[in-house]
Structure 1
Amino acid sequence: DEWTYEHIAYRNPDRWGTARDVDGDSVFAAADAAYPSVWDTVDRGTGETVCVPRTPGPVLYGVRGDDPPDCRAAAARIEGEAVARARLFVTNQGTDAHLLDGDIPNAADGRSYRLDGTVASPPESREGGHVFFGLADGSSRIRCVAFEPTKRFREHVRRLRVGDEVTVCGEVAAGTLKLEKLAVRGLCRVEAVTPTCPDCGRTMESAGSGQGYRCRDCGTAADGREQRPLERTIQVGWYEVPPRARRHVAKPLVRGGFDAPVHPER
């Protein structure tokens, strides 16, 4: 079994329900000093202090990591209101303990999976900023979504193309997998395009169903579409949502143990 640790600092009871007084600069300095042993303390892309809760409650902050002394040391660097008490907990946070190895035909709502497949429909940005694409395994398909709060992760999703081979991770709800991370296994390197005329350089037009293409000016013909090299802006490897959007149980790429190159978010 894999375990991680969380150092939780608690507020004085008379402060419960009031705005937390935590110095953001000190949180970022603590995160920089302890990374990568301590992770998901901040989100450097958005400037958020992820370890500080936004909801009312007794917790002032929680520092998660792989090594208890490093968690305590990072917490000691954080400045702010007085800490009433602190405790270190052994947890399954950051372990992917929730993920099951599955396949698309048998993926059930309410469970979280790793699923292999081929991108079957191009990424589509919809109202609210969510990005959807279809994933197929033979004749079976599932819809995948990167929700708006995943922010910059959506840019990686938008770079996928039909034919790319990927592994997706996340919870299935209403037949849709909510992306937590994905691995690009293989990239489609060519695309089928309408042929151009070798004489005049213009794009040919369809000559009719099953009759190929023809240049209306020169009369040249082609049997079908031609293959053109496709320049890709995404690499093979693992991509993840940023710390601000990560479930506590989801494993950050920086923790290692993945089966392909990783592109961690900080």
Structure 2
Amino acid sequence: MAIEAHLGLDDIDSPRGGCTTHFSSLLVERLSQDGVKWLDYPNLVRLNPNVPYRTRGNGAVALRFKADKEYAKNVLEIVREIFPSYIERGYRNTNPGVVLILGDPTEEIREFGAKALWRVQPLGHVRTMLTENDIPHIASGNGRGLIGAVSAIGNTLEDDYTYEYIAYRNAELTDEDRGVDPGSVAEMNREMGDKTFANLDEKTGQILIQPNGPDPVLYGIRGNEPEDVKHAASMIDSAQPVERWMIFRTNQGTDAHLTNLLSINKLRPYLSARVRGKVSENPRMIVGGHVIFEVEDESGSIECAAYEPTGDFREIVQKLIPGDSVELHAGVRPASRQHELTLNVEGMKI
């Protein structure tokens, strides 16, 4: 008898190589050979970007499929076969987690995943949940990847979503230059128009589809339809060949982490939130080019920061005056000896 299965994976990467999505592509290939029936594209779920111990992009993966019950129950054994030759045990911030849920994810799992998009979820909470519900899982290091693995399963992307085509290079070539051709990216960007996004910086010409680290990702193209990202990828030239590729359904580019509107007195370190208030101080520029200003609402006030890399946005912030009503899209930076609790502003409505 076939049964529905949801396999969540996270933190199978490090700054020195490896990649959760690449590992997932290896699993998809293996499970496809074994004849599972896929229920969805692989899901790539971007979690709270303000979590301090996040890996690159803070993205976790969920694979959803149907298979014979006995096969599905033993999928973690397939993961264990591949794990030893892939994960980097020597890096202290690589803490892989893999979770297998048979049947439809419970409301508890869905709620946990929804909260992980914008707040910090405790590792102890997820361990208790897995133990009490007898949910099969694998953990390495401190097991923090279990948080993302459960969260990916719980986020079934039923609201806004996009697609991402990720091309991978040979793992033996990760120390070499990818050589993605800027001209081909620019031409693809012109031809695809608004069917894809975040391909390059229109002002500087910087290529945005190509990562910089020594990981297997050659490039990634984001868009609104799977056919569009696949077609866009066919136009890209690179010095290194594409060894494999996979299309993910994802919340990338949807601002899923900014769905919660919070009053200032409800803000806590590392939350992602929208905050409405009025500017209470004239913006000022500090050493390093950062612009600092203050907003207040009925519950309190908080210092806000727009950083130098935000370019034109920082210039707009400098034009704010006391009394302006704003809605800030931001992450909460914890207090330190140098500053109080601060909103790191990534977007704004006036």
Check if 1:125 corresponds to 2:291: no
Q: Within 1, Cα distance between the matches of 2:345 and 2:180?
A: 31
Q: Within 2, Cα distance between the matches of 1:38 and 1:101?
A: 29
Question: 1:58, CA displacement in angstroms?
Answer: 0.4
Check if 1:96 corresponds to 2:262: no
Question: 1:138, CA displacement in angstroms?
Answer: 3.2
Aligned residues: 184
Q: Within 2, Cα distance between the matches of 1:26 and 1:159?
A: 38
Structure 1 unmatched ranges of 5 or more: 185-266
Letter in 1 for 2:284: E
Equivalent in the alignment of 1:147 = 307
Q: Within 1, Cα distance between the matches of 2:278 and 2:190?
A: 37
Check if 1:114 corresponds to 2:280: no
Question: 1:149, CA displacement in angstroms?
Answer: 1.4
Q: Secondary structure at the match of 1:72?
A: helix
Letter in 1 for 2:209: C
Q: Within 1, Cα distance between the matches of 2:315 and 2:277?
A: 20
Q: Deviations over 1:72-127 (max 9, x none)?
A: 11111111121111110111111111122111121111111111000111111111
Letter in 1 for 2:245: A
Structure 2 unmatched ranges of 5 or more: 1-158, 335-340
Alignment root-mean-square deviation, CA: 1.2
Question: 1:37, CA displacement in angstroms?
Answer: 2.0
Contact 2:263 2:299 in 1 (8 A): no
Q: Within 1, Cα distance between the matches of 2:228 and 2:331?
A: 31
Letter in 2 for 1:45: K
Contact 2:160 2:251 in 1 (8 A): yes
Equivalent in the alignment of 1:235 = none
Q: Within 1, Cα distance between the matches of 2:236 and 2:166?
A: 12
Contact 2:270 2:331 in 1 (8 A): yes
Q: Secondary structure at the match of 1:169?
A: strand
Letter in 2 for 1:24: P
Q: 2:194 aligns with which of 36, 40, 45?
A: 36
Q: Deviations over 1:198-238 (max 9, x none)?
A: xxxxxxxxxxxxxxxxxxxxxxxxxxxxxxxxxxxxxxxxx
Higher Cα radius of gyration: 1
Q: Within 1, Cα distance between the matches of 2:235 and 2:228?
A: 11
Structure having the higher helix fraction is 2
Q: Within 1, Cα distance between the matches of 2:347 and 2:233?
A: 28
Question: 1:142, CA displacement in angstroms?
Answer: 1.0
Alignment of 1:1-266 (within 5 A): 1-81=159-239, 82-99=241-258, 100-138=260-298, 140-174=300-334, 175-184=341-350
Letter in 2 for 1:105: N
Question: 1:139, CA displacement in angstroms?
Answer: 5.8
TM-score normalised by L of structure 1: 0.67
Q: Deviations over 1:149-191 (max 9, x none)?
A: 112211111111111111000111121111111001xxxxxxx
Letter in 2 for 1:92: N
Q: Within 2, Cα distance between the matches of 1:180 and 1:65?
A: 21
Q: Within 2, Cα distance between the matches of 1:35 and 1:173?
A: 36
Equivalent in the alignment of 1:243 = none
- Segments of 4+ moved more than 6 angstroms: none
TM-score normalised by L of structure 2: 0.51
Contact 2:264 2:299 in 1 (8 A): no
Q: Within 2, Cα distance between the matches of 1:7 and 1:22?
A: 15
